[in-house]
Amino acid sequence: MSPIRQPSRTARAPLFAVALGASTALVLTFLALPVLAIFLQTSPSRMLASLGEPESTEALKLSLETTSLAVVIIVIVGTPAAFLLATRSFPGKPLVVTLVELPLVLPPVAAGIGLLAALGPHGLLGGAVGNSLVFQTAGVVLALVFVASPFYLRQAQSAFAAVDRSFLDASRTLGAGQAKTFARVAIPMARSGLMAGLALAWGRALGEFGATLMFAGSIQGITQTVPLAIYDRFAVDFPSALALSAILVIVSASLLVSVKLLAGPEALSGAPR
């Protein structure tokens, strides 16, 4: 009996599929390698020791405080603004949307200089607020809001735009005013997109370096957040910088994952709705 010849699927895997797989593997390796290296070069005991140093704990505490506050401000002010941008059309809207996205492409150092030029002691509005911001914790929060808000606004805008108009109309015809419709229909329906935006903005704020350094400086306990503390050490104590970096990676990653878990499975997959 002659063996039955079956066409093999695996033997003739299309070249394109191979190319897709290879490029994905390359991207993953490249992106994961530096993060992996941080953990390979440091050790849990080194990280624990770092957490014992007051400079580290102070920086960590300051980072958590300033980023939380910045995210709260971004969400409170940004959510209604994103809703307006998503649901209304008005002349010049593309310009406004571009303006909102501008901080995304602005180099953080330039953003810091810009903030100084606007709100520094010798800036446009400096006389009024300059001394309460520069070299102050409030200045850190301001820099974080500036740099991180577009990440939230963009996501929130597309999340609101994905809510079909008929749901908002239905709410209105059922007797709910605009504010109630926003709170009871638009926000719950856009929830997973909003949470994904919040996670992105928070992550961006935690890693913020350039604008904070330029605008608020790097004063331990007042404006020195974790990224600034890492930079402060890396010339003099590389192992300590490594340990603090590892801690920051863990904090950022767990924030991202927990916010996404709260938002539900859709946000975890990262696909815009």
Partner 1 sequence: MLRAELTDTVGDLELDVALRVPAGRCLALTGPSGAGKTTILRMIAGTTSPRRGRVLCGEQLWLDTERRVDTPPEGRRCGYVFQDYALFPHLSAWRNVAYGLGEMPRSRRRERALELLERLGLSDRADARPATLSGGERQRVALARALARRGDLLLLDEPLSALDARTRAEAAQAVAEILHDSEAPVILVTHDFADAALLSDETAVVDRGRVVQQGTASSLAARPASAFVANLSGAVVLTGIARPADNGVTAIALDGGGEVSAVATGPGEGPVAISVYPWEIVIQPPDAAPGGSAQNHLPAQVVSVTTVGNRVRVGLQASQPLAAEITQPAARELGLDLGSPVIASWKATATRLIAL
Binding site for partner 1 (CB under 8 A): 164, 166-167, 169-177, 184-185, 188-189, 191
Element (H, E) at 219: none
**Which residue is associated with the tokens 């996501």?**
155
Considering the complex, state which of residue 151 and residue 160 has its C-beta at the smaller distance from partner 1.
160
Minimum Å distance from CB 166 to partner 1? 4
Minimum Å distance from CB 1 to partner 1? 52
d(CA 77, CA 156): 12
Q: How many CA atoms lie within 13 A of 236 on its CB side?
A: 5
Minimum Å distance from CB 240 to partner 1? 48
Considering the complex, state which of residue 163 and residue 248 has its C-beta at the smaller distance from partner 1.
163
Phi first, then psi, for residue 3 (nearest 5°) are -65, 140
d(CA 156, CA 201): 11
Q: How many CA atoms lie within 13 A of 187 on its CB side?
A: 13
Considering the complex, state which of residue 46 and residue 191 has its C-beta at the smaller distance from partner 1.
191
Q: What are the tokens at 124?
A: 């446009």
Contacts of 219 (CB under 8 A, 6+ apart): 135
Minimum Å distance from CB 272 to partner 1? 17
Contacts of 163 (CB under 8 A, 6+ apart): 185, 186, 189, 190
Minimum Å distance from CB 194 to partner 1? 13
Minimum Å distance from CB 112 to partner 1? 41
Considering the complex, state which of residue 174 and residue 253 has its C-beta at the smaller distance from partner 1.
174
Considering the complex, state which of residue 157 and residue 171 has its C-beta at the smaller distance from partner 1.
171
Whether the Cβ atoms of residue 202 and residue 148 lie closer than 8 Å to each other: yes
Considering the complex, state which of residue 164 and residue 237 has its C-beta at the smaller distance from partner 1.
164
